[in-house]
Amino acid sequence: MNLTLKIWRQQNPSDKGGLKTYEVADISEDMSFLEMLDSLNEQLNEIGEEPVAFDHDCREGICGSCALMINGQAHGPEVTTTCQLHMRSFSDGQTITIEPWRADAFPVVKDLVTDRSAFDRIIQAGGYISANTGSAPEANSVPAPREKATRAFNVATCIGCGACVAACPNGSASLFLGAKITHLGELPQGQPERDSRVASMVAQHDAEGFGGCTNIGECTAACPKEIPLDVISQLNKDLRTAIRHGH
């Protein structure tokens, strides 16, 4: 498979940046998208050109670091992470445009790498349960209804990749925030801090420069873990309750 790649190159946060065109040949359809970029970087190293910087870690669809816009779609044409996207999703001779996430809250560090530490600060603002550490409690010591436990588990699969933000015309992180709020809010252990948690995390979300949600739904369509849109309804419900309680 021979491909034309138009890749965003940007030396540092203050650089204007722009798209640069590369040609790659003999790409196997069984390669992952990141393996294809590895192949390009080997080619660039051979000719003495600086390789393309991009984030990656687990390459198993777990860590969420492989955040790329591919032909205008977060993570590309399949509902999966970039590292789990394979080249068989593209055609021989195709032109592929590769860009970093585009959001004010995710500034470009270099090339395809963005600073997504805003998500970390949102979690630090309240995305946890304050509990004494120690040995694991007996599994049935804190009963939880099956439907709530299942919902908490399902939304906890959010990997914080930022695809929801990149896909949203408003640059909102409401799907990410809703997943974290719902995950803890469904469990008995999350109830004591439920009001303060949502108030603090929403305030941090807004302080980071993320936009507001207007229920367009692009976020859930792009989410590789298929987090449902109704977590945003839960987020709003919990926030209204917290405001009524004086938070």
pLDDT value, residue 135: 79
pLDDT value, residue 132: 72
pLDDT value, residue 231: 98
Alpha-carbon distance of 86 to 33, in angstroms, equals 5
Distance, CA of 181 to chain centre: 16
Alpha-carbon distance of 125 to 57, in angstroms, equals 25
Alpha-carbon distance of 10 to 17, in angstroms, equals 4
Q: Are 208 and 121 in contact (CB under 8 A)?
A: yes
Q: Are 144 and 151 in contact (CB under 8 A)?
A: no
Q: What is the pLDDT along the chain (247 residues), one digit of tens a residue?
A: 999 999 999 999 999 999 999 999 999 999 999 999 999 999 999 999 999 999 999 999 999 999 999 999 999 999 999 999 999 999 999 999 999 998 999 999 999 999 999 999 999 999 998 877 677 777 678 888 999 999 999 999 999 999 999 999 999 999 999 999 999 999 998 999 999 999 999 999 999 999 999 999 999 999 999 999 999 999 999 999 999 999 8
pLDDT value, residue 136: 74
Return the structure tokens found at 147.
């439907």
pLDDT value, residue 143: 86
Beta strand extents in the chain (DSSP E only): 3-9, 18-24, 69-70, 73-74, 95-99, 108-110, 113-114
Domains and CATH numbers, the chain: 3-110 (3.10.20.30), 116-244 (1.10.1060.10)
pTM of the entire structure? 0.93
